[in-house]
Chains A and B, each alone.
Chain A
Amino acid sequence: DSGVTQTPKHLITATGQRVTLRCSPRSGDLSVYWYQQSLDQGLQFLIQYYNGEERAKGNILERFSAQQFPDLHSELNLSSLELGDSALYFCASSVSESSGNTIYFGEGSWLTVV
């Protein structure tokens, strides 16, 4: 158990819908990362927050957004869903942004868009 908690574990929804994925980082970790894992794109970095502030963006679509709340949990919002958004979404956390910090991953949220 990495200590990173993600909910829901599985989600099936229809095209055009909106979903919210939730992440609780490890106790004491200030940095939260979101990744998408799909068969065709592999593991892609989406976005990162540190202590409530957005710090880096990767290959995140405009239909997607995220935030980190004062209690440090984070949510990833996916809207106007398309079939191609079906993927495993990981949340990860680390203590800080220092290079070499270990980044711990949750077990992911499986999203299926039908």
Chain B
Amino acid sequence: AQSVTQLGSHVSVSEGALVLLRCNYSSSVPPYLFWYVQYPNQGLQLLLKYTSAATLVKGINGFEAEFKKSETSFHLTKPSAHMSDAAEYFCAVSKGSARQLTFGSGTQLTVLP
């Protein structure tokens, strides 16, 4: 079975600092992995996705993630945090006959001035 684990339910960084949100997956085959962001009182917005084309995936708003098979990881990074990045971030894997998404528990990112 495929699942994802997000380490750290809350992460705080200073404005301008590196953002690192961790996601590990468990899968016996190469997965399709996604990062979504949820701003307060809004829906889920796709940041980026990995579909086996390139291991370093660039997304919107300056975010990127690197697929590391040896570490079964798909961590999300951004070189310099902005106040507007404060939100909840979800890692997800596509699984099942209908390719529905299975989500991690989410990481709440706080950006400190």
> Does A pair with B?
yes
Enumerate chain B interface residues (CB-CB to A < 8 A): 32, 34, 36, 42-46, 49, 51-52, 90, 94, 96-103, 105-106
**What's the minimum C-beta distance from A21 to chain B, rounded to whole angstroms?**
14
Chain A: interface size category? 20 to 34
8 contacts between A and B (CB under 8 A): A2-B43, A2-B45, A33-B98, A48-B100, A55-B98, A100-B49, A105-B36, A106-B43
Choose from B45, B46, B99, B103 the contact partner of A43 (Cβ within 8 Å): B103
Contacts of A70 in B (CB 8 A): none
CB < 8 Å: which of A33, A43, A102 contacts B49? A102
- Contact B44–A90 (Cβ < 8 Å): yes
Decide if A33 touches B43 in the complex (CB within 8 Å). no
The A/B interface has a contact count, at CB < 8 Å, of 61
Q: What separation, in Å, do the CA atoms of A61 and B43 have in the docked complex? A: 23
Q: Which residues of A contact B51 (CB under 8 A)?
A: 99-100
Q: Distance (Å) between the CB of B50 and the closest chain A CB?
A: 8
A48 to B45, CA, bound (A): 19
Within the complex, the shortest CB–CB distance from A84 to chain B, in Å, comes to 19
Contacts of B49 in A (CB 8 A): 100, 102
What separation, in Å, do the CA atoms of A99 and B50 have in the docked complex? 11
Taking a contact as CB atoms under 8 Å apart, the answer to whether B105 and A45 are in contact is: no
Asked if B101 contacts A103 (CB within 8 A), the reply is yes
Contact of A99 among B32, B103, B106 (CB under 8 A): B32
Does A42 lie within 8 Å of B103, measured CB to CB? yes
Give every chain B residue within 8 A of A98 (Cβ-Cβ).
99
Q: Are B46 and A102 in contact (CB under 8 A)?
A: yes
In the complex, A103 Cα to B32 Cα: how many Å?
Answer: 12
Kindly provide the distance from the CB of A41 to the nearest chain B CB, expressed in whole angstroms: 10
Q: A99-B32, A100-B49, A100-B51 are in contact. Are A108 and B43 (CB under 8 A)?
A: yes
Taking a contact as CB atoms under 8 Å apart, the answer to whether B45 and A105 are in contact is: yes
Residues from chain A with Cβ under 8 Å of B44 in the complex: 90, 92, 105
B90: chain A residues within 8 A (beta carbon): 43
Q: Does A31 make an interface contact (CB < 8 A)?
A: yes
